[in-house]
């Protein structure tokens, strides 16, 4: 029996950049992601509303820009009075499962099983939050654990300890912590024992046990391909003979001081170091692609694939050596742009959409798919109409992080840094963002436009 309201499988990767899968580069083995893109709609111009985990995820969950929530970095917490789309789904009869890294309130994990009262409050009916990748070897004070006998902060640590593997995990992460940021080494665990393997098992359990007479929303938030660069051995060797395209060159002329300072922290990183990071990053993407295939196959076996909408995205990107940088928290394309693929098997879809889209659009999009009207304030706009109709979506995109703000159009990008050099790029002719047009006549127009769009910061 097909539910009147569709099932929705929402899959989010962590730190997965917009161009790192097989549709963009056939060297990257992602048959299941490619399958979703071929069967659905692939959005080509998507940005994160903050190129770091907590603000981006808060924006997705609330439908508001991060600064409206007072969330500008990973130390800020999601306001408990703020409505979420999870709550709206639950109010309208959805079973709402969540499995993985949520990042609403980093230090608030339930120390036994990940089913936090916080997550029930935020709208889940079946929450199972795990430690993030960087937190999975830390104690309650945020320091790396020395011994498995210390108090545990989350369910993955507890599971590893039960398996007799926690000390191996702690030793591995302490070793990595002594290395540089671009250190690469395979995980000591096989796929099933990695954190993402653990997340997958919990999501599959929910899908196998979910009540078929009610619609469901399943939120699967994997932790890869976030650093550290530690794919399981099977995937670590998969790309050992692969050479990826060179990264965008490092350019310091007319760049802000803080960008130059970050570049300086990677001054010893060689071209071969970057290649090895790309191999391991690709390996982690391929590992998650396999898990995406597992989820699709499970839905197919249960004969509910044809009534399930699948949304695939990431919270932000990864620099991968571009401009001499790794990781995120910067407004260049590799860090701020993300993939977005949506499949709705009930309709004929447009293959690719080149309209400007933001992750803040996912809140109204998900409720639109579920047929739920929401009367609260939103910065996002549903992209559901774009699946079937060529139409303009929005004129610009906004992203913020701490003391940095960005306004992007298809042609230009303006980046404002408090107490530092602003940046202005003509993306149409300088997609690599190498030539800072700080004196361009349109820069002041973009500055005013950003100020008007952003308004004033809330008091918090």
Mean pLDDT, rounded, for 245-256: 88
pLDDT of residue 15 exceeding 60:
yes
pLDDT given for residue 106 in this prediction: 63
pLDDT given for residue 118 in this prediction: 83
pLDDT of residue 26 exceeding 80:
yes
Q: Band of the pLDDT at 454, cuts 50, 70, 90?
A: confident
pLDDT given for residue 179 in this prediction: 86
Residues in the chain: 460
Mean pLDDT, rounded, for 131-146: 86
Cα 114 from Cα 259, distance rounded (Å): 37
pLDDT of residue 113 exceeding 80:
no
Give the pLDDT confidence of 404-446 residue by residue, as tens digits.
999 999 999 999 999 899 999 999 999 999 999 988 999 999 9
pLDDT given for residue 388 in this prediction: 95
Cα 46 from Cα 260, distance rounded (Å): 26
Q: Which residue has the higher pLDDT, 80 or 242?
A: 242
Q: Band of the pLDDT at 453, cuts 50, 70, 90?
A: confident
pLDDT of residue 311 exceeding 50:
yes
Q: Band of the pLDDT at 318, cuts 50, 70, 90?
A: very high
Element (H, E) at 13: strand 7-13
Q: Band of the pLDDT at 114, cuts 50, 70, 90?
A: low
pLDDT of residue 460 exceeding 50:
no
Mean pLDDT, rounded, for 35-55: 96
pLDDT given for residue 253 in this prediction: 81
For residue 213, the 8-state DSSP code is: T
- Which are the contacts of 214, defined by CB distance < 8 A and separation ≥ 6? 3, 93, 94, 95
Mean pLDDT, rounded, for 351-377: 97
pLDDT given for residue 143 in this prediction: 86
- Which pair of tokens denotes residue 245? 């395209």
Mean pLDDT, rounded, for 118-143: 88
pLDDT given for residue 1 in this prediction: 41
pLDDT of residue 459 exceeding 60:
no
pLDDT of residue 216 exceeding 50:
yes
pLDDT given for residue 34 in this prediction: 97
Q: What is the mean pLDDT of the chain?
A: 92
Q: Band of the pLDDT at 141, cuts 50, 70, 90?
A: confident
Mean pLDDT, rounded, for 350-364: 97
pLDDT given for residue 373 in this prediction: 95
pLDDT given for residue 107 in this prediction: 52
The sign of the dihedral angle between the CA atoms of 5, 84, 141, 261 is positive
Q: Band of the pLDDT at 45, cuts 50, 70, 90?
A: very high
Mean pLDDT, rounded, for 212-238: 96
pLDDT of residue 115 exceeding 60:
no
Q: What is the number of other CB atoms lying within 10 angstroms of the CB of residue 148?
A: 17
The domain segmentation of the chain, as residue ranges, is: 7-395
Supply φ then ψ for residue 457, to 5 degrees: -70, 145
pLDDT given for residue 109 in this prediction: 54
CATH number of 7-395: 3.40.720.10
What is the percentage of the chain residues whose pLDDT exceeds 70? Answer: 96
Chain position carrying tokens 């079946």 = 126
pLDDT given for residue 140 in this prediction: 79
Mean pLDDT, rounded, for 126-132: 91
Q: Alpha carbon of 121 to those of 112, 114, 216, 454: distances in Å?
A: 18, 14, 18, 29
Please report the DSSP string for 43-98 in residue order.
Answer: EEEEE-SSSSHHHHHHHHHHSS-GGGGT--STT----TTS--HHHHHHHTT-EEEE
Q: Which residue has the higher pLDDT, 142 or 434?
A: 434
Q: What is the number of other CB atoms lying within 10 angstroms of the CB of residue 246?
A: 11
Mean pLDDT, rounded, for 19-46: 96
């Amino acid at each position: 029996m097909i539910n009147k309201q569709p099932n929705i499988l929402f899959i989010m990767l962590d730190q997965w950049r917009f161009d790192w899968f097989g549709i963009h580069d056939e060297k990257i083995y992602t048959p299941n992601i490619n399958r979703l893109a071929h069967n659905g709609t692939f959005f080509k111009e998507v940005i994160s509303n903050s190129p770091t985990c907590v603000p981006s995820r808060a924006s997705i969950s609330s439908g508001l820009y991060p600064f409206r929530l007072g969330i500008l970095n990973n130390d800020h917490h999601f306001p408990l009075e703020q409505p979420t789309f999870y709550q709206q789904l639950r109010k309208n009869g959805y079973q709402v499962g969540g499995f993985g890294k949520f990042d609403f309130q980093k230090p608030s994990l339930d120390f036994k099983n990940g089913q936090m009262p916080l997550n029930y409050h935020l709208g889940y009916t079946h929450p199972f939050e795990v430690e993030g990748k960087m937190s999975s070897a830390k104690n309650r004070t945020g320091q790396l654990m020395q011994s498995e006998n210390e108090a545990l902060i989350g369910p993955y640590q507890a599971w590893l300890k039960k398996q007799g593997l926690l000390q191996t995990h702690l030793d591995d992460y302490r070793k990595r912590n002594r290395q540089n940021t671009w250190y690469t080494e395979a995980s000591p665990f096989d796929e099933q024992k990695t954190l993402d393997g653990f997340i997958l098992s919990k999501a599959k359990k929910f899908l196998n046990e979910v009540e078929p007479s009610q619609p469901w929303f399943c939120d699967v938030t994997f932790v890869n391909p976030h650093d550290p660069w530690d794919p399981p051995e099977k995937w670590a060797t998969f790309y050992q003979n692969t050479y990826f395209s060179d990264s965008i060159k490092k350019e310091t002329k007319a760049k802000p001081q803080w960008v130059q300072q970050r570049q300086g922290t990677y001054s010893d990183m060689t071209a071969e170091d970057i290649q090895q990071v790309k191999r391991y990053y690709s390996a982690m993407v391929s590992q998650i692609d396999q898990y995406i295939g597992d989820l699709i196959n499970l839905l197919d076996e249960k004969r509910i694939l044809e009534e399930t909408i699948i949304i695939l995205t990431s919270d932000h990107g990864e620099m991968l050596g571009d401009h001499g940088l790794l990781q995120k928290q910067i407004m260049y394309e590799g860090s701020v742009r993300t993939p977005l693929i949506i499949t709705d098997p009930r309709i004929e879809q447009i293959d690719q959409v080149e309209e400007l889209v933001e992750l803040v659009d996912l809140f109204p999009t998900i409720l639109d798919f579920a047929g739920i009207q929401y009367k609260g304030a939103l910065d996002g706009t549903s992209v559901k109409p774009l699946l079937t109709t060529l139409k303009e979506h929005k004129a610009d995109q906004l992203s913020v992080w701490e003391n940095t703000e960005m306004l992007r159009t298809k042609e230009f990008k303006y980046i404002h840094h408090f107490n530092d050099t602003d940046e202005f790029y003509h993306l149409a002719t300088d997609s690599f963002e190498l030539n800072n047009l700080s004196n361009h006549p349109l820069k002041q127009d973009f500055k005013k436009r950003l100020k008007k769009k952003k308004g004033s910061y809330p008091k918090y």
